[in-house]
Amino acid sequence: MRTYELNRKMYDKVRKMDHGQMKSFCQGLYTRGFEAGKREAEGLSDEEVKQALLMVKGIGEKKACDIVAALTRAKEGREVLTDG
């Protein structure tokens, strides 16, 4: 994880900001952090999930495919809820 380093030059700029400038600065900082967090939290691909499931005793190719399909539908449903 990359840490945010506030150097002296940026600190002086932040100290002199008015309300609007500070709001823009904070929104930009938040957005960059949020996007970085989303990239890190993407998780396993469908194929990686399927391969992991196939290592479990009692789960075959068909059942693994069914589980991956169910997870994909659930993920798509969650994205629809968060986009609106």
Does the global pTM surpass 0.75?
Answer: no
In a domain, 3, yes or no: no
52 and 72: one domain?
A: yes
DSSP3 helix / strand / coil % (the chain, rounded to 5): 75, 0, 25
Query: Is 1 within a domain?
Result: no
Confidence of residue 80 (pLDDT cuts 50, 70, 90): low
Instruction: For residue 35, give its domain range.
Output: 8-40
Looking at the structure of the chain, the number of domains it has is: 2
Query: pLDDT tens digits for 10-63?
Result: 999 999 999 999 999 999 999 988 888 777 767 778 888 899 999 999 999 999
Asked if residue 31 lies in contact with residue 23, where contact means CB atoms within 8 angstroms, the answer is: no
Q: Give domain status of residue 16, yes or no.
A: yes
